[in-house]
Chains A and B, each alone.
Chain A
Amino acid sequence: TQLLEQSPQFLSIQEGENLTVYCNSSSVFSSLQWYRQEPGEGPVLLVTVVTGGEVKKLKRLTFQFGDARKDSSLHITAAQPGDTGLYLCAGEYGNKLVFGAGTILRVKS
């Protein structure tokens, strides 16, 4: 059984602070995807990382895939209230996505 451990589960920070969310597993995934989900909506894809050691930047968000393709991190610089939401990591394993439990991020102004 493939498992993804995501941490922290909950993060409450002030506007302008930096934060990092981690996603770890003992399984190797063909890709690692990060999603953001708003209440009452489905997850929306932010980024996909495929190659071990890959780093992708999306404005203030930086995503990294571990060298062994078992772990990933999401770093947000200068967080804004609009970043508030549920962040989910998902590893692609065969034809399925294995999701972490999610990180609830709250950015206070």
Chain B
Amino acid sequence: DAGVTQSPTHLIKTRGQQVTLRCSPKSGHDTVSWYQQALGQGPQFIFQYYEEEERQRGNFPDRFSGHQFPNYSSELNVNALLLGDSALYLCASSSNRLDRLTNYGYTFGSGTRLTVV
């Protein structure tokens, strides 16, 4: 059973460019959340997608946008990249349908390491 798959694993971009990161959730999961993890810090919540809509958003500017497709996969787009956007971007999937008592917890991918130069 495949877990969460993220692509690409590493990416180098120049300031001002745009980037798209991709995530395929764990089989059976229908909800995708994105997190940004700067070096030496815990992950910070960007937003969550369910039923192809943004359900909740963290404290990130509008340069960060996303999309969820009918097959539950998701994309994270970042426009006008800044040096401070350099981080590990993590995708986490979960199920909104299974019993929460037996399905707490999120499954994280290995992340995309984004470096902005």
Contacts and interface: CB of A to CB of B under 8 A. Distances in A.
Interface stretch (B14-22, B38-46, B69-77, B78-86): B38-46
Interface in B65-117: 90, 92, 101, 104-111, 113
A64 interface: no
Contact of A41 (B33, B43, B55, B110): B110
Q: Which 9 A-B pairs have the closest CB atoms?
A: A99-B42, A42-B108, A48-B104, A96-B45, A45-B105, A95-B56, A95-B48, A48-B105, A99-B43
A45 B41 contact: no
B104 A43 contact: no
Contacts, number: 64
16 contacts: A6-B42, A33-B104, A33-B106, A35-B108, A42-B109, A42-B110, A48-B105, A92-B104, A94-B56, A95-B48, A96-B33, A97-B43, A97-B45, A97-B92, A101-B41, A101-B42
Contacts of B101: 50
Interface in B32-62: 33, 35, 40-45, 48, 50, 55-56, 58-59
A1 B59 CA distance: 10
Nearest to B3: A42
B108 A50 contact: no
A50 B45 contact: no
Most buried by A among B59, B106, B110, B111: B106
B110 A40 contact: yes
